[in-house]
Structure 1
């Protein structure tokens, strides 16, 4: 069974994965849930699975960005039009110093 927004909202996994960014991403999530589908940022079937389909999936790049910037292989990160703020907004919330 696919978990819905309500089931994941109180899940400890959100805090474990998103850490200090969780409060910021709750605001982003609420905005997407309210305005994302009418504005074409997410599909109608995505409204109930924003955490898992979009936010947690986007957070998957965070460890790679941390590793690349820690080794100074890359000094900056750019989001060049990912659409709907994915993964850029999620990564920026999780990595405020990058």
Structure 2
């Protein structure tokens, strides 16, 4: 079954422990709903940097990455349907870029 990367853009850090618990509960529930389709829960990432061909390093870039997850799905439509349940999409704080991983083996 094909694998897809969910690349997160946006979102933010919770400001209180209570807010953090609520956010973690939402992510845990979403991951649970994906069941065995969840290959790697991934992680949030620190500030991204973009390196261009001329060697210039830019903090963040045009659409900074805030985290990732790897899932398995039958096709793009199924993967995108899963991505719609992402807590950041649901609360409007971010977006999910969906990209199929290419097996080079």
Calculate the TM-score normalised by the size of structure 2. 0.28
Report the structure, 1 or 2, having the larger strand content: 2
Calculate the TM-score normalised by the size of structure 1. 0.29
Relative contact order, higher structure (CA 8 A, sep 6+): 2
